[in-house]
Amino acid sequence: MLDVGRGRRPSGGLDHRAMSSSTNSTVATELSVSENSREIEPLPFVNDKHGGVIIEMKTPMDPGVFSAYLKAALAKWREQGIRGVWIKLPITLSNLIPTVVEEGFWYHHAEETYLMLAYWLPNTTHTLPVNATHRVGVGAFIMNDKREVLVVQEKSGVLRGLGVWKFPTGVVEPGEDINVGAIREVKEETGIDAEFVEVLAFRQSHKAFFDKSDLFFVCLLRPLSYDITKQDSEIEACQWMPVEEFAAQPFVQKHELVKYILEVGLAKVDKKYAGFSPISIKSAFTDKLSLFYMNRRDLDKASG
């Protein structure tokens, strides 16, 4: 039996007979691996925090050798009480996907450069977490001292060519905070530098992008510059528009989300509404900082 539980690296190299030709049968490869197990370099894996293991393949391996070694590893981990097994395959090793699927692994998620597959060893219903379920979007309500709002017309999407003016919107990038994403989207689409003030509200919807749910955060920004430079690739036009003119658009009158964005934005500008401000906090489980959004105005009142 291969000592994969400890992840020990033997002194020998790979079985060159098994690696020399991909035409060898799986049975023959399994026998070769079994007879020369001490000469086989183990699959690269680490233990996760939930009683499972993560295999991250980085170098090529003959599918037959990989199959035999994976079978041995799964048998060993089952004896050890390991529950979840993950395999991360880079796109360059996509030839190993059929082998992994034949062992009972299923697709968990994929990114541009890799596919993650999962397997549950116990004979019970698995408790592995599902893939990410939500996309996070931001919309910016930004008004100048003339009570003009920053608006754009998009070159693509459902509003393309309809002459509809809307608030700048976009999707938060991986690892990006909501407040940073809102500032970035405004800068990219309009060239306007802005300061984040508050999250005014958010909307949750489902079955949006590839059947994922969607969280859309409405953010209040304060302009730091006023000269517009539109993003040619995505934006048809952009301008500072009197808020009354914006509100008079038939699209705004029919679209409840835009109507509420306008209402809460104006209420905040007129000092009648309190949104959520970011507070930097630490966790008991990590030294990394995160942001906690809260109604600071009313908290200060309650604390006073």
* pLDDT value, residue 29: 40
Which residue in the list 56, 188, 236, 263 is annotated as catalytic? 188
Looking only at the bridges linking them, the beta strands covering 212-223 and 134-142 are parallel
Q: At residue 36, does pLDDT exceed 60?
A: no
pLDDT band at 296 (very low <50, low <70, confident <90, very high): confident
Quickly tell me which residue has 């070159």 as its tokens. Answer: 155
d(C-alpha 96, C-alpha 277), whole Å = 48
Q: Which domains does the chain have, with CATH numbers?
A: 45-120 (3.40.630.30), 134-274 (3.90.79.10)
Stretch 230-249: mean pLDDT: 96
- Tell which wins on pLDDT, 106 or 32: 106
pLDDT tens per residue across span 129-178: 889 888 999 999 999 999 999 999 999 888 888 999 999 999 999 999 99
pLDDT at 17: 34
Distance CA 72, CA 274 (A): 60
pLDDT over 90 (residue 247): yes
Q: Looking at the DSSP assignment, which residues form a beta bridge with residue 154?
A: 235
Confidence (pTM) = 0.77
* Cβ partners under 8 Å of residue 298, min gap 6: 274
Concerning whether 112 is annotated as a catalytic residue, the answer is: no
Could you report how far apart the first and last alpha carbons of the chain are, in Å?
68
- Token pair 């900082």 is found at 289
pLDDT tens profile 82-120: 999 999 999 999 999 999 999 999 999 999 999 999 999
- Pair of tokens at residue 81: 């009480």
Q: What is the CB-side half-sphere exposure of residue 187 using CA atoms within 13 A?
A: 11
Who has greater pLDDT, 191 or 30? Answer: 191
Q: Is the pLDDT of residue 254 over 60?
A: yes
Residue 278, classed as helix, strand or coil, is strand
**Region 256-266: what's the mean pLDDT?**
94
Mean pLDDT of all residues belonging to the chain = 86
Determine the residue type at 248: A
